[in-house]
Amino acid sequence: MFNVRFHGRGGQGVVTAAEMLSVAAFDCGLHAQAFPTFGSERTGAPVTSYCRVDDRPIRFHEPIEEPQAIVVQDPTLLHAVPVLAGVQPSSYVLLNTSRELSLAGVPDGDRVAPDRLVTLAATDLAREVLGRPVPNTALLGALAALTGVVPLEAVLVAIRQRFAGPVAEANVELAVRAHASVAHDSMGTVRAMGPARAGGTVGGRA
């Protein structure tokens, strides 16, 4: 089973990101579930969503406490909520930021392996491609490159199912560009798994 936890703020597409990842997994013939937890439902409030992917039916629905990957859509949350809770040395952390980053002083930041931390200026890229600061599809493309939990092609299918027309194609472009950026930057690093295939094995079991 491969467990992904998404952290962001209301209006950043955090719930949609988990849902699209689950759709991409279904397209690969895998089992998946996606669900959110909310604090306040106002725009800008912290939001957490979860996605589990497995090649066998998933029979529980609890929040993910020990994720294989954490996606942080808003870096200001690092010091606001425990986004790194449950992180393991093998966990991937994908962080949306254009700045130099240090996890010093961030709760559980010392547990993140340096070669498992990847940053992407997803909001800047979204502004360039979409004209809006919504980073979720960029981060999905990056997550596919980083972990291989689903192939990029499945992410693009999920995007086209979620959106239509020019909006869909702009988000496809955004995901492709983010995927290429992370795949290039990650050359030579150890991935969590190879690209998912129908009937394939997904990660380690939890």
The pair of structure tokens assigned to 56 is 């066998």
Q: Domain with 51 in it: what CATH number?
A: 3.40.920.10
Residue 194 inside a domain? The answer is no
Number of domains in the chain: 1
Predicted pLDDT at 85 = 96
Predicted pLDDT at 191 = 35
The pair of structure tokens assigned to 74 is 């808003």
Residue 180 inside a domain? The answer is yes
- The per-residue pLDDT string of the chain (206 residues; one tens digit each, 9 = 90 and over) reads 999 999 999 889 999 999 999 999 999 999 999 999 865 556 788 999 999 999 999 998 999 999 999 999 999 999 999 999 999 999 999 999 998 888 888 999 999 999 999 999 999 999 999 999 999 999 999 999 999 999 999 999 999 999 999 999 999 999 999 999 998 665 444 333 333 333 333 544 33
Residue 201 inside a domain? The answer is no
Which domain does 27 fall in, by range?
2-98+113-185
Total-model pTM: 0.87
Residue 196 inside a domain? The answer is no
Q: SS3 string of 144-195?
A: HHHHCCCCHHHHHHHHHHHCCHHHHHHHHHHHHHHHHHHHHHCCCCCCCCCC
Beta bridge partners of 69: 4, 92
Predicted pLDDT at 42 = 66
Predicted pLDDT at 37 = 85
Residue 162 inside a domain? The answer is yes
Residue 132 inside a domain? The answer is yes
Residue 63 inside a domain? The answer is yes
Residue 85 inside a domain? The answer is yes
Count CB atoms within 10 A of the CB of residue 37: 11
Predicted pLDDT at 53 = 97
